[in-house]
Amino acid sequence: MSEVVFDRPKSLIDVTFHYCPGCTHGIIHRLVAEVMDELGVEGKAVGVASVGCSVMSYDYFSCDFVQAPHGRAPAVATGLKRSLPDSVVFTYQGDGDLAAIGTAETVHAATRGENITVIFVNNAIYGMTGGQMAPTTLPGQVTQTTPYGRDTNLAGYPVRVCEMLATLDGVALAQRVTVDNVKHIREAKKAIKKAFENQINKKGFSIVEILSTCPTNWGLTPVKALDWLRDNMIPYYPLGVYKEKE
């Protein structure tokens, strides 16, 4: 008798991702899909895609999806959740999307305590448009628009989104995780599951920030990109729970 130990989650459509080799968007998609399967919410989940490399996540998840204008996913998710309170609404957003163009939407959805789940993929760069500086680009990090490294005298300092949102009363969960090894991938999945469960239990705004790689625009191989994430991103963006309502 054979036993299936590894399979494609039902919540993921059987197509090939367009992501670059070594990009961790693919791992994060899988974790979100596994969580939807385990909670049995695929049939009532509505994703809101951001503009960025993950814009085509609507082609990958088998639940309903809406495409929001750049940065506006939390506002679109607010409307969806308020008009369809029994649905399970999540946004899937990059750092340029969530922390630059959509800063206001993010902060105000959080402070209103909108009962939505936000999956925030922080790769410290604008991936889709060719690697410009993002609000989360590290001091000294070389990008297309900071060829000598991010100069904090000119461009200021990176935004630590979870720490900032943790100060807001409307936030039920603000947690930072990553997916650079098996242990961290397991922790990331638990955090994503908690963020979905919080919504089902009407606890309010939950955000999971996932430190992610962009080997293409970082100019690194997939393996070196994971090393760069460990050596540079994790020290600046410590992993952990920044806020969790009982």
Selected binder of ligand SF4 within 50, 74, 215, 242 (CB under 6 A):
215
CA distance 152 to 144: 16
Nearest-10 crossing angle of helices 25-39, 182-200 = 50
Residue reference for tokens 């993010």: 106
The binder of ligand TPP chosen from 11, 24, 54, 146 (CB under 6 A):
54
Among 9, 11, 25, 195, binds ligand SF4 (CB under 6 A): 25
Looking at residue 96, its amino acid is G
Binding mask 217-246 for ligand SF4 (x = CB under 6 A): x-----------------------------
Residue type, 150: R
As measured in angstroms, the least distance from the Cβ of 23 to ligand SF4 is 3
Pattern 81-120, ligand SF4, x by CB under 6 A: ----------------------------------------
Q: Exposed/middle/buried for 86, CB within 10 Å: 0-12, 13-18, 19+?
A: exposed
- Residue 96 and residue 52 in contact, taking contact as beta carbons nearer than 8 Å: yes
Q: How far apart are CA 177 and CA 189, in angstroms?
A: 9
Closest CB to ligand TPP among 67 and 111? 67
> Which positions lie near ligand SF4, rule CB under 6 A?
19-20, 23, 25, 53, 123, 127-128, 214-217
